[in-house]
Amino acid sequence: MPFEEGNFDVIVIGAGHAGCEAALAPARLGLKTVVFAVNLDSIAMMPCNPSIGGTSKGHLVREIDALGGQMGINIDKTYIQSKMLNTGKGPAVHSLRAQADKFKYSKTMKNVLENTANLQIRQSEVTDILIEDNQVVGVKILSGAIYRAKAVIIATGTYLKAKCIYGDVEVYSGPNGLQAANNLSSSLIKSGIELLRFKTGTPARIDKKSLDFSKMEEQKGDDKIVPFSFTHTEEEISRDQISCWLTYTNHETHQVIKNNLDRSPLYGGVIEGTGPRYCPSIEDKVVRFHDKDRHQVFLEPEGEDTNEMYVQGMSSSLPEDVQRDMLRTLPGLENCNIMRTGYAIEYDCINPLQLKPTLEFKNISGLYSAGQFNGSSGYEEAAAQGLIAGINAGLKALNKEEIIIDRSEGYIGVLIDDLVTKGTREPYRMMTSRAEYRLLLRQDNADLRLTEKGYKVGLIDEGRYQSFLNKKKMIEDEINRLNNTIVGTTDRVQKLLTRLQSTLLRSGASIADLLRRPELYYEDLKEIDEARKFLPLDVIEQVNIHLKYEGYISKQIKQVEQFKKLERRMIPSDLLYEEIKSLRIEAKQKLIQIKPLSIGQASRISGVSPADVSVLLVYMEQFNRKKSV
């Protein structure tokens, strides 16, 4: 029997990485929010790798933090190892990654949710989205209770009609043996939402006490810890770290796999879902790269207080006995015991082309979605979308203008724009090569890029905002000062340059000029820069990067200016593409489906040519002029 359970501002379905951010944001904006999870013990669960961050994903976490999200703070509190990757390359691709204690991570996040004002947490399966006149009005849960709200965010991850597969075993369950959500899909289809079926997978977990680490290479964390959150200092989060271990597959491993390919559901045709290219199972790797004689395997602890080890690089849906046999061929794993079997998981998700860049459904006002449900993969990708969906659902409930992060402002923008403009045929993973303004979108300057936005939304408090303004000013002042501090060809200067193996000066130069040389850094020039005052390390870092890569940075800034002009050219929402005779049919269909907000977005749709964009521009001008008559 249905019954009324009350009115809310925002409802969030799912409490994974997307759902947590999606619930926290509106609650923190003062809105009455409720979040549903199939099981409250699985809040912010990490059902796959026990780590947060990595290349481009680390960037996302820092952006989430700059906007006032929770993921960065949560991993800083629960990490067991931290590493800055790519330090041998340019600053744009330095990437932070931390191994998490996944149990603590989940518990800590649950605790934050529980103690957030305006936020209710509820264990139940949502079975129906309630929609009236293309406007979402609430949800119904399994018990029949009806929750009404101004906005609803779907963040069901991999739970919808989930099916886990290994060998010939098929279990209709969500990740980690949790109950799947089997009712919501049909409600979505009834509401006219197009669903896709995607697939992903995870490796086995094995028992630490059955391993021989002496046969593996130890992988330690960094000595210097960089926090994910801009609100933390190194001292605040410093702790003892736990190592990971590296071993390799070998000929024998590959033989075990090859001998059992006929028992693989992947090759036997049992799995229908589209799997990601970047996340191949070990059987995929062995088949596709058959001339590679070994593959890396990292053993990563799942937490401080557990023996479970994650076997990174061995994702598989082979039968349990084959998984056991192949794992035991690896050096150090000869006697390993499996604690959890690896599996592939299939689930319902949506074609993200149905979404606006705000993550609201185009055809259903007030309905938002985020995370793996949108066709992405990864905790960080999910959290980033969750935060944006949460912010926008909140702003919508408040009758305020929603926000969009564009491609020049953050990886979050690249991620969402790719999803809603280009769609995806496999679970979408963030990569640095997807960001065309990579040099500007660094992990070190996420705060400079996005704090302002977070403050305007209302998720960044006054104190944090003031210290951001202060940092910005210190950077600008110091760059100015260095440009105007001239050193002559004195003995002291030349001696220093000789010592630093840099070319001697022929005439006077500014300290900034010297810093533009690839071999010289801010810290090196202290003794010839007398007026230098003490500055925080993060300010110095910005000064160094800014001067050293000035040429490239200003080139990218110019490109961004061009890009912004096209983004600002908005397409009227009542424009009828059907009427534009001169558009090619393919372009017309795509434009009708995607309904781009701006000319910029239209130009990124595959199948829309520059000539189509020209036609569109002319038509738009015509349309606007007619309207103004």
Partner 1 sequence: MMYDTIAAVATPISPAGIGIIRISGEEAINLVDNIFLSKKKGKKLKNVLSHTLNYGYIIDSKNNQAVDEVLVSVMKAPNSFTTENVVEINAHGGIVVVQKILRLVLDQGARLAEPGEFTKRAFLNGRIDLSQAEAVIDVINAKTEMALDASVNQLKGAVSNKLNTIKSHLLQLIAHIEASIDYPEYDLQELNDDSIYKQVNNIKKLIESLLDTYDDGRLIKEGIKTVIIGKPNVGKSSLLNTLLREQRAIVTNIPGTTRDVLEEYMQIHGIPLRLIDTAGIRETEDIVEKIGVEKSLEKIVEADLVLLMLDASEHLSEEDFNILELIKEKKTIVILNKSDLEKKINIKQLEEYINDKEIIYMSVKNLDGMNQLEERIKDMFMVGNINMNENVYITSVRHKNALNKAIKSTDQVLEALASNMPVDLLAIDLTNIYEAIGEITGDSVKEDLIHQIFSQFCLGK
Residues within window 530-559 making contact with partner 1, judged by CB under 8 A:
549, 552, 556
**From CA 118, how far away is CA 149, in angstroms rounded?**
14
Residue 323 found at the interface with partner 1 (CB under 8 A): no
Distance CA 355, CA 282 (A): 34
Q: What is the spatial distance between Cα 37 and Cα 42, in angstroms, rounded to a whole number?
A: 8
CA distances to 195, 374, 594 from 591, in Å: 20, 20, 5
Q: How far is the CB of 281 from partner 1 (least distance, A)?
A: 9
Return the amino acid letter for 132. E
Closest to partner 1 by CB, 55 or 601: 55
Closer residue to partner 1 (CB): 42 or 249: 249
Which part of the chain contacts partner 1 (CB under 8 A), choosing from 127-135, 152-160, 426-434, 447-455?
Answer: 426-434
CA distances from 308 to 45, 299, 317, 378, 498 (A): 15, 10, 19, 21, 54
Of 162, 125, 153, nearest to 47 (Cα)? 162
Binding residue for partner 1 (CB under 8 A) from 33, 42, 56, 317? 56
| Site membership for partner 1, residue 301 (CB under 8 A) | no
Closer Cβ to partner 1, 32 or 438, answer by number = 438
Counting contacts by CB under 8 A, is residue 575 touching partner 1?
no
569 binds partner 1 (CB under 8 A): yes
Task: Assess 48 for contact with partner 1 (CB under 8 A).
Answer: yes
Give the three-state DSSP class for 506.
coil
Query: What is the sign of the dihedral through the CA atoms of 559, 229, 533 and 499?
Result: negative
Give 175 or 313: the residue with its C-beta nearer to partner 1: 313
* Binding segment toward partner 1, per CB under 8 A, in 102-110, 502-510, 537-545, 611-619: 611-619
Rule CB under 8 A: is residue 576 a binding residue for partner 1? no
Binding window for partner 1 (CB under 8 A); candidates: 106-114, 220-228, 308-316, 466-474: 308-316
Residue 359 binding partner 1, by CB under 8 A: no
**Which listed range, 379-387, 474-482, 528-536, 612-620, lies at the site for partner 1 (CB under 8 A)?**
612-620
**Rounded to the nearest whole angstrom, what is the least distance from the CB of residue 69 to partner 1 in the complex?**
23
Q: Is 439 in the site for partner 1 (CB under 8 A)?
A: yes
Locus of tokens 């779907």: 154
Considering the rule CB under 8 A, would residue 479 count as an interface residue with partner 1?
no
C-alpha of 284 from chain center: 25
Q: For residue 94, give Cα distances in angstroms to 55, 279, 445.
A: 7, 22, 11
Rounded to whole angstroms, the Cα distance separating 434 from 430 reads 7
Q: What is the dihedral of CA 20, 371, 385, 608, to 10 degrees?
A: -170
Pairing of strands 244-248, 296-301: antiparallel
With CB under 8 A, what is the number of residues at the site for partner 1?
A: 59
Measured CA to CA, the distance from residue 98 to residue 39 in angstroms comes to 26
Binding status of residue 503 toward partner 1 by CB under 8 A: no
Site for partner 1 contains 565 (CB under 8 A):
yes
- Selected from 19, 29, 32, 55, the binder of partner 1 by CB under 8 A is 55
Judged by CB under 8 A, does residue 315 bind partner 1?
yes
619 touches partner 1 by CB under 8 A: yes
Minimum CB separation of residue 257 from partner 1 in Å reads: 14
For residue 627, state whether it binds partner 1 (rule: CB under 8 A).
Answer: no
605 in contact with partner 1 (CB under 8 A): no
Q: Would you say 62 and 72 are in contact if contact means Cβ atoms under 8 Å apart?
A: yes
Which CB atom, from 347 or from 455, has the smaller least distance to partner 1?
347
What is the x/- site pattern for partner 1, positions 277-296, by CB under 8 A?
xxxx----x--xx--x--xx
Please write down the long-range contacts of 580-584, taking CB distance under 8 Å and 24 or more positions apart. Answer: 580/615, 580/616, 580/619, 582/615, 582/619, 583/612, 583/615, 583/616, 584/609, 584/612
Cα gap 99→223, rounded to integer Å:
15
Q: How far is the CB of 329 from partner 1 (least distance, A)?
A: 18
**Which is nearer to partner 1, 55 or 485 (by Cβ)?**
55
Q: Which of residues 136-155 bind partner 1 (CB under 8 A)?
A: none
Choose between 570 and 618: whose C-beta lies nearer to partner 1: 618
- The residues in 145-204 that bind partner 1, with binding defined as CB under 8 A, are 203
> Does 625 help bind partner 1 (rule: CB under 8 A)?
yes
Q: What is the DSSP letter of 245?
A: E
Residue 213 makes contact with partner 1 by CB under 8 A: no
Q: Which of 82, 86, 341, 369 binds partner 1 (CB under 8 A)?
A: 86
Using the rule CB under 8 A, which residue among 70, 95, 376, 392 binds partner 1? 95
Q: How far apart are the first and last CA of the chain?
A: 55
- The token duo for 597 is 């907000």
Are 584 and 609 in contact by the 8 Å Cβ rule? The answer is: yes
Residue 621 near partner 1 by CB under 8 A: yes
Near partner 1 by CB under 8 A: residue from 6, 89, 268, 363: 89
CA distances from 568 to 413, 456, 594 (A): 15, 20, 18
The nearer residue to partner 1, 311 or 397, going by C-beta atoms, is: 311
β-pair type (367-369, 145-154)? parallel
- With b for 16 or more beta-carbon neighbours within 10 A and e for fewer, the 250-269 pattern comes to eeebbebbeebeeebbbbee
Residues that bind partner 1 in the complex, under the rule CB under 8 A: 48-49, 55-56, 85-86, 89-93, 95, 203, 276-280, 285, 288-289, 292, 295-296, 298, 312-313, 315, 431-434, 436, 438-439, 518-519, 549, 552, 556, 562, 565-566, 569, 582, 599, 603, 606, 610-611, 614-615, 617-619, 621-622, 625-626
